[in-house]
Amino acid sequence: MRHCVPWLPRLALLAGLIGLPASAIAWDYTPAAISGLTSLYGYLTNQNATLERAAAKYPSMRNDIQQVRSAFDRQYPDALATVTRLFQDIPLPATDRARLATKVLEMDREAMQSALASEPAMQAYLQRVRESAQGDMEKASLQLLLAAVYEDKPAAELASPMARSYTTKGIRQAGAIDLMLRMPLSWERDPAREKLLPDNAIFAFTSQGGNGLSTIDLLARPLPKDGAKEAASAAAAARATEELKALTGGSAKVIAQGTVRLANHRANWASFSIASDGGRLQYGRVWWVPLPEAGQTAVLLCRTPSLAPQAADNERQRLEPLWQAVAATLSTATPAR
């Protein structure tokens, strides 16, 4: 049974946040993310208060309560502290944040009182927390919770039990490409955006459960006419700027480039930036993986949002370990020749 963390579109106060710009720090304070983050804040705060009151009211249950609390903390380390900090950083006047906090805490007050009513009721509540610790939670809430927990170390989420593996086999846009890759659960696949990407977009992922602004995409491109050997050479790397323009639709500045071994294939890579109006910058990294056996090239394209220069550079530094970790999971069943 999946437990739902209530979302906050019910709060009329959020209706005015539609035009809110992205925050200068790592968390993307989009309207949907603010709604979900506020709900998580209420959920975790009330859960903590319920367990503390239960331990005082039912001394015989203290061991069970501590075990459940520890299980939740192991799966979502520092969840309450991190979500509280992110909630307090929401770019709103303090009075508005206080109103949000009051409303969201009131929503769960009845559930707290019901859980504390008797020992059997508290046992049932503890079971629900156990299940939440195992990931049995409404998906959107779980994704945003993981995004918050791993905000400062997004690459670590890729090694968590909740990360997901994807395969391109059987996907029409992938053609003959048979690849596997692993992605954090907090990144949501976005089929609507896949339709807008150039050429054959196999997968399009968006950060913060689809509520954020950072992206990771996997695309299929034709294998260069000069073949796989040339595709992995310095000559191919020199074409990075031209390739990036075709992929991003903008004029990219190549910052660094090279070749690397990914699982059973060699790949070219390039780091880049794209300047936009208003002095904003987007950073990214791309890997081209020649697949001669498929007659195609797989392209992994990772990008930050377009932000003020310092914020964009901070986001690049935060996400680069994740980008490289995702690229390292790319593998095919057929070894390179």
Q: Can you say whether the dihedral through the CA atoms of 152, 156, 158, 160 is positive or negative?
A: negative
Q: What does the mean pLDDT of the chain come to?
A: 87
Distance from the Cα of residue 188 to its chain's centroid? 7
The answer for 206, left when phi > 0, alpha when psi is -120 to 50, beta otherwise, is: beta
The whole-number average pLDDT for the span 86-90 is: 95
**Which range is most confident: 14-28, 97-111, 148-162?**
148-162
CA distances (Å), 193 to each of 177, 200, 218, in order? 20, 12, 12
Taking residues 51-71, what's their average pLDDT? 97
pTM: 0.87
Task: State both tokens at 188.
Answer: 């949501």
Q: pLDDT grade, residue 335 (50/70/90)?
A: very low
> Is the alpha carbon torsion for 42, 45, 48, 54 positive or negative?
negative
Q: Which residues contact 147 (CB under 8 A, 6 or more apart)?
A: 186, 207, 208, 209, 212
Spatial separation of the C-alpha atoms in residues 143 and 103, rounded to whole Å: 23
- Identify the helix (H) or strand (E) that includes residue 333: none
Q: For 129-139, how does the pLDDT look when each residue is reduced to its tens digit (9 = 90+)?
A: 999 999 999 99
Q: What is the DSSP letter of 23?
A: P
Assign 266 a pLDDT band (cuts: 50, 70, 90): confident
Q: Is residue 6 pLDDT above 90, yes or no?
A: no
Q: What is the pLDDT of residues 152-205, one digit of tens each?
A: 999 999 999 899 999 998 888 888 889 999 999 999 999 999 988 766 899 999
**Each residue's pLDDT tens digit, 194-240:** 988 766 899 999 999 999 999 999 999 888 765 445 444 555 556 78
As a whole number of angstroms, the distance between CA 325 and CA 321 comes to 6
CA distance 187 to 230: 34
pLDDT score recorded for residue 9:
41
Please state the φ and ψ torsions of residue 294, each to the nearest 5 degrees.
-100, -10
**Spatial contact of 204 and 189, defined as CB atoms under 8 Å apart:** yes
Q: Please count the other Cβ atoms lying within 10 Å of the Cβ belonging to residue 308.
A: 14
Question: What percent of the chain is predicted at pLDDT more than 70?
Answer: 86
Determine the Cα–Cα distance for residues 238 and 121; give it in Å rounded to an integer. 66
Handedness of CA 312, 313, 316, 317 (dihedral sign): negative
Q: pLDDT of 19-48, one tens digit each? A: 344 343 579 999 999 999 999 999 999 999
3-class SS at 267?
strand
Q: Cβ atoms within 10 A of the Cβ of 140, count?
A: 18
Question: What dihedral do alpha carbons 64, 65, 71, 73 form, nearest 10°?
Answer: -160
Q: So what's the pLDDT on residue 14? A: 42
Q: In the β-sheet with 215-222, what is the strand arrangement from edge to edge?
A: 188-189, 200-206, 215-222, 296-303, 281-291, 265-275, 252-262
| Spatial CB neighbours of 181, under 8 Å, sequence gap ≥ 6 | 165, 166, 203, 218, 300, 326, 329, 330, 331
Could you please report the per-residue DSSP string of 119-182? HHHHHHHHHHHHHHHTT-B-HHHHHHHHHHHTTT-HHHHTTSTT-EEEE-TT-GGGTT--EEEE
- Mean pLDDT calculated for residue range 260-264: 84
